[in-house]
Amino acid sequence: MAQSNVAEIASIVSESSRAAMLTVLMDGRFHTASELAFMAGIKPQTASFHLSKMQEAGLIVQEKQGRHRYYGIQNEEIAKVMESFLFIAPPVKIKSLKQSSQDKAMRYARTCYDHLAGSLGVQLADALLKTGVLREDHENFRVTEKGELFFKELGIPLETVSKKRRSFSYRCLDWSERRHHLAGALGQAVLERLIELGWIQRVPQNRAVKVTEEGKDGLKKTFGIDHSKEGT
């Protein structure tokens, strides 16, 4: 009767190999087909089959580069929905000490698609609100006059950022904190800049990011974020 297309999207995500690949892609970076196959523990043929299926469904995009094919999440909205899944997905059973510390690290700070999430991401958004750099404006954050100066001093040229044809600065819900953090082009720019400054570093294996010693200092001075403990 009331055949909904919700089922179609869900059926894509429901397969464990595909879900695994999507989870990998949630780091916001592009990955090759064979890399994704390896991460999901399947043969390249099978991965190819799944990837084309997900591409057809509009969940991911492909970019050819020589004999490699790079795959990435289609856009922010897809990433957002994937993230929202974690809201109701039962918490992962922690089996090992290693997993436990990984989980802790992820909850503290991770990338969500192309911006910063986790406790650190939420603290950052909070700090920017509190100091009047950003203001809440319906679904989005808005940069105040004071904010324009702030980002300039931080080394983020807003003119360039706002030229990209995507939503500039919207609020993204954080599954571990259940609070919003900063997303959109501005969120991406901030993440990039923090990495560039050497304040945080991506962890190669997963979406977690690590705060460096300079980072602790810089985050304290620039944003007033004091963090006594963090994940491994």
Residues between 13 and 42 that touch DNA (CB under 7 A): 15-17, 32-35, 42
With CB under 5 to 8 Å by kind, the binding choice for 78 among DNA, a second copy, none is a second copy
For DNA, which residue of 22, 25, 51, 161 counts as binding (CB under 7 A)? 51
With CB under 5 to 8 Å by kind, the binding choice for 89 among DNA, a second copy, none is a second copy
With CB under 5 to 8 Å by kind, the binding choice for 193 among DNA, a second copy, none is none
Residues between 68 and 127 that touch DNA (CB under 7 A): 68-69
Of 3 and 45, the one with the shorter C-beta distance to a second copy is: 3
* Residue 67 found at the interface with DNA (CB under 7 A): yes
Q: How far is the CB of 28 from a second copy (least distance, A)?
A: 16
Q: Which stretch binds DNA (CB under 7 A): 66-74, 92-100, 102-110, 153-161?
A: 66-74
Of 54 and 203, the one with the shorter C-beta distance to DNA is: 54
Contact 127, 223 (CB under 8 A): yes
Binding residues vs a second copy (CB under 8 A): 1-16, 18-20, 22-24, 39-41, 58-59, 77-78, 80-82, 84-90, 92, 136, 138-139, 173, 178-180, 206
Q: How far is the CB of 190 from a second copy (least distance, A)?
A: 19
Label each residue of the chain as H, E or C: CCCCCHHHHHHHHHCHHHHHHHHHHCCCCCEEHHHHHHHHCCCHHHHHHHHHHHHHCCCEEEEEECCEEEEEECCHHHHHHHHHHHHHCCCCCCCCHHHHHHHHHHHHCEEECCEEEHHHHHHHHHHHHHCCCEEEECCEEEECHHHHHHHHHHCCCHHHHHHCCCCCCEEEECCCCCCEEECHHHHHHHHHHHHHCCCEEECCCCCEEEECHHHHHHHHHHHCCCCCCCCC
Q: How many residues does the chain have?
A: 232
Q: How far is the CB of 62 from DNA (least distance, A)?
A: 7
Q: How far is the CB of 93 from a second copy (least distance, A)?
A: 9
With CB under 5 to 8 Å by kind, the binding choice for 20 among a second copy, DNA, none is a second copy
With CB under 5 to 8 Å by kind, the binding choice for 217 among a second copy, DNA, none is none
Q: Token pair for residue 76?
A: 């922010």
Buried b (16+ CB within 10 A) or exposed e, 158-196: beebeeeeebbbbbbbbbbbeebbbbbbbbbbbbeebbe
Q: Which residues are near DNA by CB under 7 A?
A: 11, 15-17, 32-35, 42-53, 62, 64, 66-69
